[in-house]
Amino acid sequence: MIMKYENLFTNIFKLIISLFLFFESIYIQKLFIWIFHIKKITPSLVTVLSFTSNLVILILLFLLFRKDIIKEFRIFKNNISNNIDIGFKYWLIGLAGMMISNILITIIFQGGGADNEQQVQKMIQAAPLFMILNAGLIAPINEEILFRKNFRNIFKNNIIFILVSGIFFGYLHVSGATSLLQWIYIIPYSSLGIGFAIMYSKTNTVFTSICMHMMHNTVLTLISILL
């Protein structure tokens, strides 16, 4: 019983550290600005700084979850075909929920799109290569460790894990919202997050959701660049 509570407190502590890294990553960027005596912040530099801070967070998260990451990579590798099949299935379900809710928001509320998405588009235009690496590769790993691995360690009940993980994922993408309309976009983002959470609960390896998240972000980033 004592060991059980020790593990819970450890996992909660890791969650707090991870959340701090994510929501205070601006200070990592400010550190680089100070180190390199940067005077002018351009759109391209904002993208590079975002990439750099995400890379630092990735390294820190790996150190924090090293044993779990290695263990779950082995699980993923040993049944890779089945894990990808399950992941693709629930990615499609999450994507459908995201698209349908976005369409309904546009029709009902005359929404012009989430502020987060508009910011991402600006960063893609400013530095497309860095955004492929940042949004397509690094960010999915960071977000899956934070919103899937962290919450799975704390919530053993599948339904609670899926809902909490999905909703917090949605919250991340609208946390800077300044209007009720922008807060409503938590629904499409949460739909996708729930899809990622379900595939993790089905395969018991965060690498399933990491792969699907990478594919999702990379495809959308490439479409934005090409169009």
Taking the C-alpha atoms of residue 33 and residue 217, their distance in angstroms, rounded to an integer, is 27
Q: What's this model's pTM, rounded to 2 decimal places?
A: 0.93
pLDDT for the residue numbered 18: 93
Tokens 């090293």 sit on residue:
66
Does 2 have pLDDT greater than 90? Answer: no
Does 110 have pLDDT greater than 90? Answer: no
pLDDT for the residue numbered 101: 95
pLDDT for the residue numbered 155: 94
pLDDT for the residue numbered 98: 96
> By three-state DSSP, how is residue 107 classified?
helix
pLDDT for the residue numbered 116: 81
What count of other Cβ atoms lies within 10 Å of the Cβ of residue 182?
A: 16
CA 2 to chain CA mean position, Å: 33
Closest C-alpha to 197, from 69, 64, 189 = 189
User: Using 50, 70 and 90 to split pLDDT, how confident is the model at 1?
Assistant: low
Taking the C-alpha atoms of residue 167 and residue 203, their distance in angstroms, rounded to an integer, is 20
CA 178 to chain CA mean position, Å: 21
At 26-64, the pLDDT tens digits run 999 999 999 988 888 888 898 899 999 999 999 999 999
At 154-177, the pLDDT tens digits run 999 999 999 999 999 999 889 888
Distances (CA, A) of 159 to 15, 164, 180: 19, 9, 27
At 204-222, the pLDDT tens digits run 999 999 999 999 999 999 9
Burial group, residue 159, by CB count within 10 angstroms (0-12, 13-18, 19+)? exposed
